[in-house]
A and B are shown apart, each in its own frame.
Chain A
């Protein structure tokens, strides 16, 4: 999700700069690590989607499973991120970080089971 377009209209540098600084200052290293993975997944998804639009959709199920695997992994990781984020502690009263990671693992396994089945 590249949201920088809208802020770029007014005060392009300063607003994004503030955001970036705030992010750097207030995010723990763990979350930054997760974010790096998220960015990688997003790029991978964009590449696949561009291929699908520009070149061919031909093995449609293969495209769908590849794209779903990035999107799915992205949202599962994003879920993990929000669950282990200390700011959300009172929202996830019953989900400890360990539990969140276990959930993440199970979700990913199930997701990739279907991905492999669908690759064809």
Chain B
């Protein structure tokens, strides 16, 4: 048999397979190393610190768990959150992440390795990303073969779409959830392939872990039933499907109800009903099959079919009836917002106000997946080509996840694994085809004509069977496409010579190399910022750290009594609780819309209206984020409209969004700003004494590029308590009621009048210290 390049012929098959498995282990180890290492930019560029917002709560909860033990954590009532309501943390949290860190912490301490809990929290996401790579390898191996699995593991290890949620310090539920997602899917596929109740049970146990770890478990709850349903509808019901699905569903559902936050939802909400319905359907179908195997009468079977269909319809009717009778909770708003992208904006502004709930912009697909996004459809087509049961799973997953990723930015995360799997299948088929050394024998090839494909297959017999099959898949598609174009009898499509092979392989390797460059660049530049600490570049290229947030939080921690209540917009609630250790009114666990709207109302109304609200809630300090000096665009003035909208949702008579725009419909903070805007507490607190900073020159807000009025706003009911170095965080103290019973405005005016008569003392900015 002619080959394109010489192959060693004196190797025993055992040597080849041993070497291959050793190489696989080495490759997986290296991939794990790369996955962990590429997530460490955040630690190297900044420090070992918890990132962003939600991780601060997880970190705080984990500290409680590590310090006081699991039961204490389970029963933890946090009186400092949602002041004065408090929060039952144990019952309103997915405890999987904290429990994982707690177990690791205790394990390390049992081994006499005194690792700080913060470092465990910081390093948890990179560590689990290595496990994700392994789980993806196992999953893809079931789709095609080991080489595709290795490619998929390498892709998921470094792809920015996953790194964005799992860099060191990003201590959030997604950090462990993607591993659990992939491993549950792997167990499911394995259970389905083997018909093994053991793997079904394993899938259920990991499903339980997933339920305990992330609200996104609903994705699994609906993906697996959908797969089962499609298989039944395609007439692919087997006893294996019955075994796999039944064991997964029963154990998985019962175990998911052990998580207090989930409770009875799996038997009472619409999101979980699909799984129950498919479970019932499977029982019916399985029973029908059993009866069929005993009786072969045609009439009997027809009757049976009718009985099954009737029962199915009755079940559906019962579901609708129970929903109307409110025994089953209808779909939640979050679910509707997945189908109708405008829904959240109209009905639940608090969901729409979160930036990661916005629809995905097209460039971010390329940013997050780079060349995988081109290979992804090819991989899905290859799945259609073979269409075994597990390929149907990948196809469904691809369709669903693509849709969801288009609706919400954060759901890009669920798309990423399937993109990696499908791309790896496509890429490895390409490599299989072009790395194969077998050359077609020309005379046979030309003679055989129509029987071309089997001829090629037989020549590839040297390769392992599944690989050759997959390799064929690719060639077949090319052949089919080519023959469809020409419209004549298909000819042998095979690869001749070394140059063709090299041309393709070099290109493919080039794509891989660029992918690695892109991933490294995206990770280091876009996804590794802790957002608690900001970085800018000095003129000489060195890095300048902007540490205003921690400056302000530590000021609060060290200069205020422990019971001082701090009001801020909900974004900063977790950070204040975590870093300043002070009670907050609202935080990122946005469970009480009215409470958030109250804060929104206080921020968006005038001082006179806001003051009673502040006093009623025992607010001692108000904290605002102001980026105007530095050009930090994520500040409260830019979020202000959401505060207005959310407040308007509860008090439509008192707060109206149009009042905050100029008559021309512009959002302005300069001289032309509307009256409601200029008098709002938020505006006043942001720009209080801002103009003085420019010494009489034009005071420019660098975020909105507008010149603020030279005479800034005055405050009667609040005192400036602290402003950080770059003015990003400003803290105001709420004045107590006047001792003489005057309202604070007139008291203030009186005091000012008096001062004017004496020599006016220089106002000191941090006088209240």
Contacts and interface: CB of A to CB of B under 8 A. Distances in A.
B195 interface: yes
B5 interface: no
Interface string A97-120: 001101110110011001101100
A82 B243 contact: yes
- Of residues A5, A94, A114, which shows the largest number of chain B Cβ atoms within 10 Å of its Cβ? A114
Contacts of B204: 110
B328 to A, nearest CB: 14
Interface stretch (B300-308, B381-389, B628-636, B744-752): B300-308
Nearest to A73: B250
B247 interface: yes
Given A7-B304, A64-B257, A94-B194, A79 B251 contact: no
B254 interface: yes
B201 interface: yes
Contacts of A26: 294
B207 to A, nearest CB: 12
Interface in A57-94: 60-61, 64-65, 68, 71-72, 75-76, 78-80, 82-83, 85, 87-88, 91-92, 94
Contact of B254 (A10, A68, A76): A68
Interface residues of B, number: 43
A68 B254 CA distance: 7
A54 interface: no
A75 B196 contact: no
Contacts of B246: 75-76, 78-79
A7 B200 CA distance: 34
Interface in A1-34: 1, 3, 5-7, 9-10, 15, 18-19, 22-23, 26
B152 to A, nearest CB: 24
Given A6-B306, A19-B291, A82 B196 contact: no
Interface class of chain A by DSSP: helix
B254 A19 contact: no
A26 B304 CA distance: 20
A3 to B, nearest CB: 6
Given A87-B293, A110-B201, A92 B239 contact: yes
Interface string B252-273: 0111011000001001000000
Nearest to B195: A92
A94 B249 CA distance: 22
A75 B257 contact: no
A78 B242 contact: yes
A91 B197 contact: no
A88 B267 CA distance: 33
Give the secondary structure class of B's interface. helix
A1 B287 contact: yes
A104 B197 CA distance: 7
Contacts of B251: 72, 107, 110-111, 114
A95 interface: yes
Given A3-B287, A76-B197, A107-B201, A71 B307 contact: no
B378 interface: no
Interface string B309-348: 0100000000000000000000000000000000000000
Nearest to A5: B307
Contacts of B304: 3, 6-7
A38 to B, nearest CB: 11
Contact of A103 (B198, B242, B294, B303): B198
Contacts of B196: 94-95, 99, 103
B250 A111 contact: yes
A68 B201 CA distance: 15
Interface in B176-234: 194-198, 200-201, 204-205
What are the 4 closest A-B residue pairs judged by CB atoms, nearest first? A6-B307, A75-B246, A72-B250, A103-B197
11 contacts: A1-B287, A6-B306, A18-B297, A19-B291, A79-B200, A85-B239, A91-B238, A94-B194, A110-B205, A111-B251, A114-B255
Interface of B: 194-198, 200-201, 204-205, 238-240, 242-243, 246-247, 249-251, 253-255, 257-258, 264, 267, 283-284, 286-288, 291, 293-295, 297, 299-300, 303-304, 306-307, 310
